[in-house]
A and B are shown apart, each in its own frame.
Chain A
Amino acid sequence: MSAASEMGAENQETQPALENATPLTTRVGTVILGRMDFTSELLRLIGMELFKIRRRLMSRVLGTIAVCLALLVPLAVGIEVAVNMQTPASSFAPACPSSAAASGECTPLSHAYLEGIKTSIITSLSEPLRLPSSLELAATQGEFNPALLLIIILVGTIAGGELSSGTIRLMFARGPWRGQFLLAKYGAALICTVVGVLGMAIVGVIAGQLFNLFSGVPQNWTFLNAAWIGHALLYLLATMLNWFMYAVVAIFFAFLGRSTVAGIVGAVTWFFAEPIISNILTFAGNFSVGFAGTFLRALPSYLMGNNARALQLDQAHYLFGGTGPSQSDLQAFITLAIYLAIFIGLTWWLNESRDVTN
Chain B
Amino acid sequence: MPEVGSCDVARRRRWRRAWRAVKGSEEVQAYIETSLQSEVIISTNRLTKAYGKLVAVNDLHIQVMRGDVFGFLGPNGAGKSTTIRMLLGLVRPTAGSAIIFGMDIAYQMPTILRHVGALIEMPVFHPFLSARDNLHVVAAASGMVSGRANRRRIEEVLELVELKDQEKMVYRKFSLGMKQRLGIAAALLTDPELLLLDEPTNGLDPAGMYEIRQLIQRLAALGKTIFLSSHLLNEVQQVCNRVAILQKGNLIKQGNVRELLRNKEQILVHLRTSDEFERAQAVLAEARVNGVDWLGSVHLEKDRQGQETLHIDAPRTHSAEVNRLLSEHEIFAAELHPYEGSLEEVYLQLTTPATATGEHLGMAALAGNSELLDPQEFHSGTNGTGKSEQDKGASV
Contact indicator B143/A167 (Cβ below 8 Å) = no
B136 lies within 8 A of chain A by Cβ: yes
Contact indicator A175/B110 (Cβ below 8 Å) = yes
* B217-238, CB < 8 A from A: 217, 220-224, 234, 237-238
Chain A proximity mask over B220-258: 1 for CB below 8 Å, otherwise 0? 111110000000001001110100000000000000111
Contact indicator B146/A5 (Cβ below 8 Å) = no
* B171-205, CB < 8 A from A: 186, 189-193
Given A32-B144, A51-B137, answer yes or no on A21-B89 (Cβ-Cβ < 8 Å). Answer: no
Residues of B near A1 (CB, < 8 A) are 337-338
Given A8-B340, A173-B90, answer yes or no on A167-B124 (Cβ-Cβ < 8 Å). Answer: yes
- Name the one of B116, B136, B223, B338 contacting A51, with C-beta atoms under 8 angstroms: B136
- Name the one of B124, B126, B338 contacting A52, with C-beta atoms under 8 angstroms: B126
Contact indicator A170/B143 (Cβ below 8 Å) = no
Residues of B near A19 (CB, < 8 A) are 65, 67-68, 241, 256
A230 lies within 8 A of chain B by Cβ: no
How near does chain A come to B178, taking the closest CB pair, in angstroms?
Answer: 16
Interface centre among A14, A167, A355 (most CB of B within 10 A): A167
How near does chain A come to B384, taking the closest CB pair, in angstroms?
Answer: 22
Contact indicator B241/A167 (Cβ below 8 Å) = no
* B41-94, CB < 8 A from A: 65-69, 85, 88-92
B142 lies within 8 A of chain A by Cβ: yes
**Nearest A residue to B143 by beta-carbon distance?**
A33
Residues of A near B39 (CB, < 8 A) are 21
Residues of A near B65 (CB, < 8 A) are 19, 21
Chain A proximity mask over B249-279: 1 for CB below 8 Å, otherwise 0? 0000000111000000000000000000000
Chain B proximity mask over A52-91: 1 for CB below 8 Å, otherwise 0? 1001111000000000000000000000000000000000
A342 lies within 8 A of chain B by Cβ: no
B300 lies within 8 A of chain A by Cβ: no
Contact indicator B223/A48 (Cβ below 8 Å) = no
A11 lies within 8 A of chain B by Cβ: yes
Residues of B near A58 (CB, < 8 A) are 128
Contact indicator A173/B220 (Cβ below 8 Å) = no
How near does chain A come to B82, taking the closest CB pair, in angstroms?
Answer: 9
Residues of B near A170 (CB, < 8 A) are 120, 123-125, 138, 141, 186
**Nearest B residue to A11 by beta-carbon distance?**
B238
**Nearest A residue to B149 by beta-carbon distance?**
A32
Chain A proximity mask over B359-392: 1 for CB below 8 Å, otherwise 0? 0000000000000000000000000000000000
Contact indicator A15/B241 (Cβ below 8 Å) = yes
Bound CA span A358–B150, Å: 29
Residues of A near B92 (CB, < 8 A) are 353, 355
How near does chain A come to B151, taking the closest CB pair, in angstroms?
Answer: 9
Interchain Cβ contacts within 8 Å, total number:
164
Chain B proximity mask over A260-282: 1 for CB below 8 Å, otherwise 0? 00000000000000000000000
Residues of A near B224 (CB, < 8 A) are 25
Residues of B near A20 (CB, < 8 A) are 67
Bound CA span A165–B125, Å: 8
Contact indicator B113/A24 (Cβ below 8 Å) = no
Number of chain B interface residues as a range: 35 or more
- Name the one of B85, B113, B133, B145 contacting A55, with C-beta atoms under 8 angstroms: B133
A109 lies within 8 A of chain B by Cβ: no
Residues of A near B36 (CB, < 8 A) are 24
B109 lies within 8 A of chain A by Cβ: yes
B312 lies within 8 A of chain A by Cβ: no
Bound CA span A52–B138, Å: 11
Contact indicator A177/B109 (Cβ below 8 Å) = yes
Given A1-B337, A174-B138, answer yes or no on A18-B67 (Cβ-Cβ < 8 Å). Answer: yes
How near does chain B come to A45, taking the closest CB pair, in angstroms?
Answer: 7
A112 lies within 8 A of chain B by Cβ: no
Contact indicator B145/A32 (Cβ below 8 Å) = yes
Given A21-B67, A172-B89, answer yes or no on A27-B191 (Cβ-Cβ < 8 Å). Answer: yes
Contact indicator A48/B237 (Cβ below 8 Å) = no
Contact indicator B110/A57 (Cβ below 8 Å) = no
Residues of B near A31 (CB, < 8 A) are 144, 153, 189-191
Contact indicator B141/A176 (Cβ below 8 Å) = yes
B14 lies within 8 A of chain A by Cβ: no
Contact indicator A25/B258 (Cβ below 8 Å) = no
Bound CA span A74–B376, Å: 80
B129 lies within 8 A of chain A by Cβ: yes
Which candidate, A34-42, A99-107, A205-213, is the interface stretch facing chain B?
Answer: A34-42
Residues of A near B128 (CB, < 8 A) are 55-58
B302 lies within 8 A of chain A by Cβ: no
* B20-42, CB < 8 A from A: 24, 36-37, 39
Contact indicator B340/A9 (Cβ below 8 Å) = yes
A337 lies within 8 A of chain B by Cβ: no
Bound CA span A152–B91, Å: 30
A357 lies within 8 A of chain B by Cβ: yes
Contact indicator A11/B144 (Cβ below 8 Å) = no
Bound CA span A8–B222, Å: 19
* A171-187, CB < 8 A from B: 171-177
How near does chain A come to B164, taking the closest CB pair, in angstroms?
Answer: 15
Residues of A near B142 (CB, < 8 A) are 33, 174-175
Residues of A near B186 (CB, < 8 A) are 170
B318 lies within 8 A of chain A by Cβ: no
Residues of A near B118 (CB, < 8 A) are 173
Contact indicator B239/A25 (Cβ below 8 Å) = no
Bound CA span A33–B149, Å: 10
B140 lies within 8 A of chain A by Cβ: yes
Residues of A near B156 (CB, < 8 A) are 28, 30
Contact indicator B91/A355 (Cβ below 8 Å) = yes
Contact indicator A173/B145 (Cβ below 8 Å) = no
Bound CA span A174–B120, Å: 12
Interchain residue pairs A-B with the least CB separation, the first 6: A48-B140, A166-B124, A22-B223, A356-B90, A174-B141, A30-B153
Beyond contacts A19-B67, A58-B128, A355-B85: 19 other A-B pairs, Cβ-Cβ < 8 A, are A5-B340, A8-B238, A8-B340, A12-B257, A14-B221, A15-B241, A19-B65, A24-B193, A31-B153, A36-B114, A48-B137, A52-B129, A55-B133, A165-B126, A169-B90, A173-B89, A175-B114, A175-B142, A355-B90
Can you name 28 A-B residue pairings with CB atoms under 8 Å?
A4-B238, A8-B234, A12-B257, A18-B69, A18-B241, A22-B66, A22-B223, A25-B193, A28-B153, A30-B152, A30-B153, A31-B153, A37-B24, A44-B140, A44-B146, A45-B140, A51-B133, A51-B140, A52-B137, A55-B128, A167-B125, A167-B126, A170-B125, A170-B138, A171-B141, A172-B88, A355-B91, A356-B90
A: which residues have CB within 8 A of B? 1, 4-5, 7-9, 11-12, 14-15, 18-25, 27-28, 30-34, 36-37, 41, 44-45, 47-48, 51-52, 55-58, 165-167, 169-177, 353, 355-357
